[in-house]
Structure formats: structure tokens, C-alpha cells
Structure 1
Amino acid sequence: MTRRTLSSVVVVSLLVGLLVAAAFLPVPYVTMSPGPTVDVFAEADGRPVIDVEGAETYPTEGALRLTTVSVTSPGVEISLVEALSAWFDGTRAVYPREVIYPPDQTAEDVERESSVQMVSSQDTAVAVALAELGYDLEMRTEVLGVTKDAPADGELLPRDRLLEINGVQITDVAQVAEAVQRTGVGETAEFVVRREGESRTIRIETVAAEDDPERAVVGIEIGNGYDFPFDVRVRIDEQIGGPSAGLIFSLAIYDTLTPGALTGGDAIAGTGTIDPEGAVGAIGGIQQKVVAAADAGAEVFLVPAGNCDAARAADVREDEIRLVRIETMHQAVKALETYTDDQSADLPGCG
């Protein structure tokens, strides 16, 4: 072997080695794949997922499935090979990491935000379902989340209704931060809350906010809740967070409180946020959710109107699952009632 040939072999070997090494280096992307689906008509730990106490409920048939996506965890990095594999897989997607996990958010921040969104989504879903049934509900100010290891951790709980802080009656969300700040850093704030029908007085010592040493905080997320005429609980795995199951929760609650089966005994899936007026909002990962629903055997998928264009591109056969375009909770109820009466009926589609 000549010296030139030997040099060429060495150079090529080094290049191949570098390419192989580069293929397994982490890249700033995350993958999104179809996640598990959950039948909200089923049971969790021996209790109904939709658990109503204090009102008449009715048996139902079929399945109503919320859909999820599996996303690369905040603390996990993927390689170039993994990213390319997902890119060429029609059922998966690749996103820049900063789009899913903003650089200024920690893994704990992401988990807390997801938990807060789920609490708010569930309460709004209950309210919208009851409004569809004719109930007029009163808004309230409540705890949506508590920061781990903060002063309020172990003292206040999600869904505690805030009645007073330091003797001042709480009537809106903005008052809470103002009342805590007036307490002063290192001083004790007195909270009066209603929990499970009982009033409780809880004293919590404030600390300084991380971004402002003069601002007093106790580590709680506050939002709007409702006074419900009876108890409705949504028992769902704590690993499932975010607001995207709002529409499905609302439909399940409505079905539980009305005679007959809203699904007509079929398997229905869907997704979408829900706001207090009953409007259905777009969500992320729609293509992966459609695939997950089809894999779970759903015949119909309820698609937020804002997701219709993307949903049509999901990697499923056209005859595998029917996409129904939804703008409001009321429209979703009517669409399912129409489908139950006649499965071949014309429904608003994404085509």
C-alpha cells in the first residue's frame, strides 16, 4: 500500500468515525408521538372517571376517549438519528426544543403549569356542561396550583375557594396578589378558604419573590372557579396534564347527567380546549392524536375547527376514522346526537 493510499484510508476512516459520532450527538429538538387514549366512561381505581355525587346520573354505552401525545421529556435529549427517524415517520413529528420547552422554564415549571391547566380545564368543563343543561353558575376565586416547597405547600390545596385574606373579602383574582403583597415579606398572611364545604383559617408566612426581594409571595397560582350545585370529580392520571381534554370532559359530564348514550354505543374520540363560553380551542399534536384515536378503534374524531387543516394530513386512511369539525360544546352535542340517530348523516367535516 502506498503512502498516499494509506493516508486516504486514514482520512476516510476518520470522516466516517466523525459522522457516526455526530449522528449520536444530542440535537436541540424534541419528538412528538401518538400517546395513550383514555375512555372517560371507564373507571379509575374502582371509581368512575367522571364521578358525580348529589345529582341523578344515567348509564351510558360506547366509549368517549380523550387523546394524548407522548413528547420527549424536558430533561431528555435526542440524537440526530432519533430526530431523523421521527422526521421520516408519518405518525410522529419533530419540533425545536424551545417551541415546546421555553429556555426560561425548568422541568418543574412545565409540570406545575400543566397541572394548573388541567385543574382549570376540568372546572371549566364542568361549568360548560352544566350551562348546557341550563344551570346558572356563580364564579369564584380559587387556588389552581401550589408551588412545591413554597410556604403554601401543604397548607393550601388546588380548588380551595379563597374567601378572605387578612380580613379582606376576596371577590376577584387580582385582589389575591395585592393582599399578599400588602402583608410584607416575612410576615404572616391569614387566609380564610372553603374546602369540601367547610371554612378554614390558614396562616402562612410570606417570602420574597425570586425576581423581586421586596415582593411578598406564598407560592400559589390563582384563577377563576365556580360554585357547583353538586360534586363532580374527574379522576384522571396525574401524568396527563394540560387543557386539551376540556371538550371531552365536558361531553362526558353532560352524558353522565342525561338519559341515553351520547355516543350511540360507538367509540368516539376527540380533543380541544374549552373556554367558559363553551368555545372549543385548537391544540398541539393534532395529527398524532388522530393516529392514536384510530389505533384505539374510534369511529369518529371531534376536531377543533382551528386544527382541521392539520388533522386532514394525519397518517390514517380516509375511511379509517371520520373527522368532525367542532367549534363549540353545544355544536359537539348536536353533532353527536345527529350521528347517533343516523351514522350516515351529513356532519360538519374537515374536508
Structure 2
Amino acid sequence: MPRRTATMLASTLLFIALLCAGVLMPVPYAELGPGPTVNTLGEHDGEPVLKISGHKTYPARGHLNMTTVRVTGADYRMNMVEAVVGWLGHDKVVVPHDTLYPDDKTPEQVDQENAEDFSLSQENAKVAALRELDIEVGTRVIVDSVVKDGPSDGKLHAGDVIRAVDGQKVDRAEDIRTFVTKHKPGQQVVFTVVPAGVAKGNDANRAPTRDVTVTATRAKDDGRAMVGLQAGVEHTFPFTIDIKLADVGGPSAGLMFALGLIDKLEPGDLTGGEFVAGTGTIDEDGNVGPIGGIQLKTIAARDEGATYFLTPEANCATAAKDVPGGLTLVKVGTLDDALAALEDIREHRTDELPSCEG
């Protein structure tokens, strides 16, 4: 065989071997890409995303789309070729696998945390939207969690509404610690509660209560009496709001949920019929916080047809580095900022919109 032919054959075989190794060799990376977008004013899988019962609602046109990031699963093992393609691609991001799935957490724990963040974002969106509309939102003190094998384990449960401790009315979560630490370790503490199953969806002020006696134990850090529970606060609403959206996790849809609720609870259209998408966490006071994967979400929004994208102020610089053609990034720091921007959009005052700059 001529030397040149042998060299070419060897090179070809080496290339094939390297290619096969690249395909077969797993690498410790995960991939993110643009995910689905969902119009909070519309339906998803045949059900309204925002379902309101017990209060007048109004039809809303246009789009207020929440955006998502698609993530490879915890068990997915990327190969070297896929990693290189992802690094070179415009609409994908390759990150170390343990960035998304830390070694000290199981995939189930990661999913649970994402679900809890999503639930909290829904709660905050409801509170922020109703307060914006001057609709009263109530609060009640609940058992947030119970320490396993602690004094309250098996007696009190997460979601129980705490009405009183030793007959003293509870108004704030901080009251629980105050009342408990008046006791000495070994003494009994009587909780007046509405069980979680009874309290859910009902007015706990009118629901039947029961007394639960817990024997306090000594705290290891300061020696004071403790009962092994964490108190929290739950909001109550004057009517029912259900947010139906499966297979979505994390807190980043809060802003768009709040805007969707306001649009449905007020006459008129917030968007003026325009296609607006966006992202951002939200707290009870309407402050908008940053999220991850902003550039992937702008791609998803534009691919779906959005022309405006409500962008958390803290994400603006990153988002502005690579803006999809035809999409206007609008900077927002609060719910009021977003509402003001939507007013400019529907009134066609787009030159007044606060824009993101790199």
C-alpha cells in the first residue's frame, strides 16, 4: 500500500475513533435552552391558567406570556460532541451538571425545591396583585414545619392554623416563640389550632378548633423551652384564585402571574392587544427580582411572537448583550413599573419605555 494512502487511511480511522469516543464518552455537563412560553391570560392544556371564582372578572385580549428555560434531566448524560455543539450554539447554554443538580441533593429534592419556589411565586403574585387593586388580603399564623422526632412531631402538622397558645391569641409568627419560652423545659404548652385539612380553603376564624398539648423540651443552644416547630404566615384571600400550570418550577413567573391577575380583575386590557412576554420574581410588596437564563427566555419569547419583553432591572445588562431581532426589552424593577410600561405600550408611547442597555 502506498505510504500516502496508508497515512490517509490511518488519519481517517483515527478521526472515526475520536468521533466515536466523543459520542460515547459522557461528560459532566447539562444543557439549557429556550423553553415553552404560556399566556397567563389564556389556557394551558385546556384549562385557564388563572382561574378566579367568587369575584367579577373581565375578558382580556393580547398576551402576557410567562417564559421558561428547558433543562436536561438529572439522569441525562451529555457526550462530548453534544457539549461542543452546545458551546458553539446561539440558543443553548452548557453548564456543569452539579450547577443544576448538586451532589448533596437528590433529583427529587431539587424538584421539590423548584415546586416550593413556584408555589411561593404564585402566593406572592396573588398578594401583590390584590394589594395593587386595594383588595384586602388577610393573614394567619400556621405551623410551617415540625422537627422530626421533636416534641410536636405527630401532634402538630404543617398547615395547622395556630389560633392561640395557652389561651393567648396569636397574631404574629413571632408570638409562638414568645409564648413558648415563658415555660420551663418539661412543662406543657397548649396550642389551640384549626387542623390543616379543615383550615385549607376555609375561614379559620370560624372553623372548629381543637387543643393540642405539647411537652416542652430544652433547647441545646440556650437551654430555653422549645416545642420543635417552625411557625409561618399564610395569606387568606376574599375569593378563590387557582393558578393551573403543570411541569413548571422555580419562582420566575411571579411578575407575569401578577399582571395576568390584574388584567382579569380590572376592566380593559393591560396590553392593548399587544404580544408582551416577560419574567421576574415578585415579592408581596411588588418588587421584581432577577432570574436565571434571561437570554434563553428572550429567544423563547421572540420565537413565540412577542414584541415586548418585561425584563427585571438586575437582568437588563445581560439580556441586552444579545437581543433577538424585533424584540424590545423593557426594564422593570417593580409591579408599578410594569404597569406603567404596559400603559405606554397600549397608548403607543413606545419612545417613553425604559429600555435595557448593555
Instruction: State the TM bucket, normalised to the shorter chain.
Output: 0.7 to 0.9
Give 1:35 shift: 0.3
Amino acid at match of 2:57: T
Which residue among 345, 350, 354 is the counterpart of 1:344? 350
Return the offset for 1:142. 5.0
Query: Any idea what SS the aligned residue of 1:20 has?
Result: helix
Query: How many Å apart are 1:163 and its aligned residue?
Result: 2.5
**Residue identity matched to 1:231:** T
Deviations 1:187-227 (A, max 9, x none): xx9963311216477999xxxxxxxxxx9989xx9754312
Distance change (3 Å), C-alpha of 1:175 and 1:96: farther
Q: Structure 1 residues 335, 201: CA separation in 2 closer, same or farther (over 3 Å shift)?
A: same
Q: What do the CA deviations read for 1:122-154 (whole angstroms, capped 9, x no partner)?
A: 1110100111112343333457899xxxxx9xx
Contact 1:51 1:233 in 2 (8 A): yes
Which of 253, 260, 270 lines up with 1:252 in the alignment?
260
Corresponding residue number in structure 2 for 1:71 = 71
CA pair 11-95 structure 1, distance change in 2 beyond 3 A: same
Residue 27 to residue 55, structure 1, CA distance change in 2 (3 Å)? same
Identity of aligned residues (%): 36
- Indicate conservation of the 8 Å contact 1:69/1:289, yes or no: yes
Answering whether residue 249 of structure 2 is matched by residue 241 of structure 1, we say yes
Query: How many residues are matched?
Result: 324
Query: SS where residue 292 of structure 1 aligns?
Result: helix
Q: Give how far 1:97 is off.
A: 1.6
| Secondary structure in 1 matching 2:102 | coil
Gaps of 5+ in 2: 147-152, 213-225
Map of 1:281 onto structure 2: 289
SS of residue in 2 equivalent to 1:331: helix
Matched, 1:162 2:168: no
Q: Report the residue type matching 2:337 in the other structure.
A: Q
CA distance in 2, matches of 1:235, 1:145: 25
Secondary structure at the residue paired with 2:352?
coil
Cα distance between partner residues in 2 of 1:191 and 1:98: 42
- Structure 1 pair 99/9, CA: closer, same or farther in 2 (3 Å)? same
Q: Which moved more, 1:225-234 or 1:285-294?
A: 225-234
Q: Match of 2:337? A: 331
1:7, CA displacement in angstroms? 11
Q: Is the 8 A contact 1:247 1:271 kept in 2?
A: yes
Q: 2: CA distance between counterparts of 1:67 and 1:223? A: 30
Corresponding residue of 2:202:
197
**Which moves more between the two structures, 40-49 or 93-102?**
40-49
Q: Give, in angstroms, the shift of residue 345 of structure 1.
A: 3.5
User: Deviation per CA, 1:49-84, whole angstroms, max 9, x where unpaired?
Assistant: 211122221111111100001011112121111111
The partner residue of 1:225 within 219, 224, 234 is: 234
* Whole-angstrom CA distance in 2 between matches of 1:143 and 1:249: 27
* Distance in 2 of aligned mates of 1:176 and 1:98: 38
Q: Which runs of 5+ in 1 are unaligned?
A: 147-151, 205-214
Query: Against the structure 1 CA distance between its residues 173 and 115, is the aligned structure 2 distance closer, same or farther, given a 3 Å change threshold?
Result: farther
Shift of 1:9: 7.0
Which AA in structure 2 matches 1:102? P
- Taking the aligned partners of 2:271 and 2:143, their CA distance within structure 1 comes to 34
**Residue 308 in 1 paired to residue 310 in 2?**
no
Rounded to whole Å, the distance in 1 between the matches of 2:257 and 2:92 is 26
2:278 alignment partner, one of 270, 279, 302 = 270
Q: Offset of 1:268 from its aligned partner? A: 0.7
Query: Which residue is 1:97 aligned to?
Result: 97
- Displacement of 1:332 after TM fit? 0.4
Alignment partners' CA distance in 1, 2:262 and 2:122:
13
Q: CA RMSD in A?
A: 4.0
Indicate the larger mover: 45-54 or 241-250. 45-54
Give 1:207's aligned residue: none
The verdict on how the C-alpha distance between 1:217 and 1:25 changes in structure 2, with shifts beyond 3 A counting, is farther
* Structure-1 separation of matches of 2:240 and 2:185: 34
CA contact (8 A) 2:344 2:350 kept: no
Instruction: Map Cα deviations across residues 229-264 of structure 1 (whole Å, 9 max, x no partner).
Output: 221111112x11111000000001111111100010
Give the TM-score of the pair, scaled to structure 2: 0.77
